[in-house]
């Protein structure tokens, strides 16, 4: 999964695709685990919000 996500974010132009992919996959794994433990099928909404934040910051040009 991490390799697939790495490829996808690299295609989007992420400067550090492997790092971002690991963060996103870890987030997805954690959300799936929490959903199972809490028996809350829509727990992914929290992961989505966090993923949106990660993606928004991954493509911001570096400060000079």
Quick check: 5 and 21 in contact, CB under 8 A? Answer: yes
State the Cα angle at 13 between 46 and 52, rounded to 5°: 10
Q: Which of 56, 61, 1, 41 is nearest to 25 (CA)?
A: 1
Mean of pLDDT over the chain: 90
The answer on pLDDT for 42 being more than 70 is yes
pLDDT digits (tens, 9 = 90+) for 8-34: 999 999 989 999 999 999 999 999 999
DSSP H stretches of helix in 1-64: 2-11, 17-38, 44-58
Mean pLDDT across 46-64: 85
According to the model, what pLDDT value does residue 64 have? 65
- Tokens 């695709």, residue? 17
The pLDDT > 70 percentage for the chain reads: 94
Please state, in angstroms and rounded to a whole number, the distance separating the CA atoms of residues 37 and 7.
30
To the question of pTM greater than 0.95 for the whole model, the response is no
């Amino acid at each position: 999964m991490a390799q697939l996500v790495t490829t996808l974010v690299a295609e989007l132009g992420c400067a550090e695709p492997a790092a971002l992919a690991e963060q996103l996959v870890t987030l997805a794994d954690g959300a799936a685990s929490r959903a199972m433990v809490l028996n809350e099928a829509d727990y992914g909404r929290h992961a989505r919000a966090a993923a949106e934040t990660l993606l928004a910051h991954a493509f911001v040009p570096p400060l000079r």
